[in-house]
Amino acid sequence: MLSKNKEYHSMESFESLELTEAVLSMASPIADTETASPEKSLGTSTIFYGRYQDSMEMYASADTIAEYLNNHSSWFSRCAEPMKVEPLGENGYALVIGRFGSFGYEVEPKVGLELLPPEDRIYRIRTIPVPDYQAPGYEVDYNSSLQLIEIQQSQLSQNSVEMTRVEWELDLKVYINFPRFIQRLPKSLVQSTGDRLLNQIVRQVSRRLTRKVQEDFHHSLGIELPTNVKKNK
C-alpha cells in the first residue's frame, strides 16, 4: 500500500497488473459517441504525481556493484523486459512501458531515460527527448536517484557474506492532455483514477525490475540469490 506521499515499499502486497497485455476496463458511455484519440480536442494538462522509494539487497561489495551498474549496456535491456528498449546514445534508452488506460482512453507511453555517470556512489536517471518522436498528448518527467550503501561487517552476522543495500527514490510527473469526452467527467474521479493507475504501474515495473536486476547481478558473479530474498519478491 502506498503512504500519503505515495512512497512505495516493495515488500508490501498488492494486486499485480499484467501491464503489457491488460487495459483497465472502465469505459465511459461517453466514449461511444466520440473518438478516444489523444490528438482530438486536447485541453489543458492534468498532472499525475508520485514520489516513491524502495531498496534491495545485493550480496557483494559496493565497488563490485558499481562496476556492474556502470556497464548498464550489458544488462539494462535484458532486465527491462518485457518493456521494449532502444539504445539512445552512450547512456540513454527509449522505453515503451506498455499499453494502459481508463474510461475508453488508452495510451502506450514511450519515454527516453538517461543514466547519468555516478557521483559518490549515487546514480541518477532523468528524462531525455526521444529523437523523431512526438508524444501524443502526454509528457513524462522522470527523476530518480540510486545510492549504494555498503553494510559494515560488524552489522552482519558471523559467516555472512558481503552485503550492500541499494536505495532508490523516484519523483515522477505525468502530464496528460485528455480529449473533451474525458474532461466532461468529474475532475476528482479522473485524478483519483489516474493516480491509482500510476501507482500500479510503478509498483509492477519496480518490483519486476528489482527482481530481475538482483537475479542478473548475482548470476553474473556465480552467486545464488539467498532464499529469504527470493521469498520477499
Mean pLDDT of 133-152: 90
All three cell numbers of 210, joined, read 528489482
Mean pLDDT of 99-114: 76
Residue 198 pLDDT > 50, yes or no? yes
| pLDDT band at residue 137 using 50, 70 and 90 as cut-offs | confident
3-class SS of residue 126: strand
Which segment, 105-114, 187-196, 201-210, 212-221, is predicted with the most confidence on average?
A: 212-221
| pLDDT band at residue 102 using 50, 70 and 90 as cut-offs | low
C-alpha dihedral, 76 to 79 to 64 to 69, nearest 10°:
20
Beta strand pairing call for 110-115 and 92-96: antiparallel
Look at the pTM and tell me if it is higher than 0.75: no
Domains of the chain in start order, with CATH, are 54-221 (3.30.530.20)
| pLDDT band at residue 85 using 50, 70 and 90 as cut-offs | very high
Q: State the pLDDT at residue 224.
A: 82
Q: Percent of the chain having pLDDT more than 90?
A: 42
C-alpha dihedral, 44 to 19 to 226 to 65, nearest 10°:
-50
User: Which of these ranges, 34-48, 92-106, 177-191, 192-206, has the smallest mean pLDDT?
Assistant: 34-48
How far apart CA 47 and CA 194 sit, in angstroms, is 9
Q: Report the greatest alpha carbon distance in the chain.
A: 68
User: Which of these ranges, 52-61, 162-171, 173-182, 208-217, has the smallest mean pLDDT?
Assistant: 173-182
Residue 75 pLDDT > 80, yes or no? yes
Phi, psi of 16 (to 5 degrees): -75, 145
Residue 186 pLDDT > 80, yes or no? yes
All three cell numbers of 172, joined, read 515522477
Residue 3 pLDDT > 70, yes or no? no
User: Which of these ranges, 4-8, 18-22, 111-115, 140-144, has the smallest mean pLDDT?
Assistant: 18-22
**Residue 48 vs residues 127, 183, 193, 198, 219: alpha-carbon distances, Å:** 16, 15, 10, 8, 37
Burial class (CB in 10 A: 0-12, 13-18, 19+), 224: exposed
Residue 34 pLDDT > 90, yes or no? no
| pLDDT band at residue 15 using 50, 70 and 90 as cut-offs | very low
